[in-house]
Chains A and B, each alone.
Chain A
Amino acid sequence: MISLIAQQPVIPEFERGSECVRENKQFCSDWFFDNFDRVFGPRVVEHIELTAIAVGIGFVIAFTAALIAYNRGWFERSFAIFAAFLYTIPSLAFFQLMVPITGLSRTSAEIALVSYTLLILFRNTLTGLQEVPEDARMAARAMGLTQGQILRRVELPLALPAIMAGIRIATVTTISLATVAAFIGVGGLGQPIFNAIQSGFKTEFVAAGLLAVLLALVADALLVLLQRILTPWARARRV
């Protein structure tokens, strides 16, 4: 079996490293803080960019698709099958398979990442719209609102909690999958992980892993907060 992992650890700047680094202990905080700006800072920014672009584009596509499906039933099934099919492709494979088409580029990574957001965002947006109470819709029509007004002022606000829940799941999923994207060398926090797989340097493993976990949890918490701010009525009802 071919092992991808270095048998002999390669320690960066061995002579200048502290004792902890030279012995390749599990986590050397001195190395972490000394090298944060160089090794991890830019990767965190890249990771956020990869995720934001993927969720942003994914949302535009999935939202449009959900609006179409909301009015035309046949489209719901076909798009759901398409998105579910994309979701069954293992990410390690998807990223590699894009390489012959779009190269070792961010585009390759984003195409795969966007594909993975579609199912969740589509399903949640459509469910949110479908679960708007018929009474609210009829009341709006009786008040003389046009179809477009009903969508914008009644249906979308009522569907917002479901849509936000979808964005939340899509975001944490994308953060997770974006670490794998580094397999084709597009940066992000997966990059130090794959570097560490080459070098066997433990601090890099632990630090990059912890940063990715932290990023996911912070993003999740921020989106919960955003959801609360956007839907004050949901909170009022619960009290």
Chain B
Amino acid sequence: MQTFVDAIQFLFDNLGLIWDKTVEHLALSGAAVGVAMAIAIPLGVWLGHLHRGSFLAINVSNVGRALPSLAVISIGLGLLGVGFLNVMVALVILAAPVMLTNAYVAVEQVDPDAVRAARGMGMRPLQTLLRVELPLALPLIFAGIRTAAVYVVATAPLAALAGGGGLGDIIVNQPTYGPEGVVAGSIAIALLAFATDGVFALLQHFVTPRGLRKRGKEPRLEPQVETAAA
């Protein structure tokens, strides 16, 4: 209990340090989520649009979830060496599968009647995708991004072991910062994870087309934060 009180004290005494590490943490996580999105979302949407590759698109997230995060970072350390890039690549590998599966399922399960109606109105395939399928799929696509983003924020502390910086630096340097530093770092990471979840929940709400909102078809909005991955 005393450690917990000390940790709160530590947080207030070292606001500058916490802030710097948080910025590093967000830069690393943001870069990883961005790259993962750029790869996984177009691929998932495209496969969903074609209604092809369901085996790949669905199983990739099962495999992705099974991947031990530290093991992926370790392989990256061997192949790419120490630093930001290695950790980012590892985080992209961990984040992309769930995004891909969600994007695929989101587009794939769009009401076929809506797609047929669009075609009947004379829309070309690309128009159908951009103006019918995508808007209807966006909430679920965002749910995938949200899950992945929280996972990345929670896993990024392991980056500290690989020279990637971030809030994990405080946790792994107990000799420097003491047990109160370890607890303080954990609190900061948990708060950051909740904040990430909240921000993406909000985004998810805003990208949901008004028609879907009314019918109560919004995917979950309650927080679901699991930081243990760190």
Residues of A within 8 A of B (CB): 1-5, 26-27, 86-94, 96-97, 100, 116, 119, 169, 172-173, 175-177, 179-180, 183, 189-190, 193-194, 196-197, 202-206, 208-213, 216-217, 219-220
Contacts and interface: CB of A to CB of B under 8 A. Distances in A.
9 closest Cβ contacts across the A-B interface? Answer: A90-B230, A205-B78, A212-B71, A176-B68, A209-B74, A209-B75, A206-B78, A93-B186, A209-B71
B190 interface: yes
Contact of B74 (A93, A119, A193): A193
B182 interface: yes
A5 B163 contact: yes
Interface string B92-113: 0000000000000000000000
Contacts of A211: 71
Interface in B1-17: 3
A193 B70 contact: yes
B183 interface: yes
A92 B157 contact: yes
Interface of B: 3, 62-63, 65-79, 82, 154, 157-158, 160-163, 165, 168-169, 171-174, 176, 179, 182-183, 185-186, 189-190, 193, 225-230
Contacts of B63: 217
B65 A2 contact: no
Contact of A179 (B70, B77, B154, B157): B70
Contacts of A217: 63, 66
B173 A2 contact: yes
Contact of B71 (A96, A183, A208): A208
B176 A93 contact: no
A90 B230 CA distance: 5
B67 A176 contact: yes
A213 B68 contact: yes
Given A119-B226, A173-B228, A213-B71, 11 more contacts: A4-B161, A5-B162, A86-B228, A88-B225, A89-B228, A90-B157, A90-B190, A116-B228, A193-B70, A197-B77, A217-B63
14 contacts: A1-B169, A2-B173, A2-B176, A26-B79, A27-B78, A93-B183, A94-B228, A177-B229, A179-B70, A190-B70, A205-B78, A212-B74, A217-B63, A219-B66
B71 A179 contact: yes
A88 B158 contact: no
B11 to A, nearest CB: 14
Nearest to B186: A93
A173 B66 CA distance: 7
Grouping DSSP codes into helix (H, G, I), strand (E, B) and loop, the A interface class, with mixed when no group exceeds half, is helix
Contacts of B227: 87-90
Contacts of A92: 157-158, 160, 168, 171-172, 230
Nearest to B168: A92
A100 B79 contact: no
Given A89-B228, A90-B154, A189-B71, A172 B66 contact: yes
Contacts of B72: 209, 213
A217 B79 CA distance: 21
B77 A196 contact: yes
Contacts of B190: 88-90
Contacts of B70: 176, 179-180, 190, 193, 209, 212
A24 to B, nearest CB: 10
A193 B226 CA distance: 24
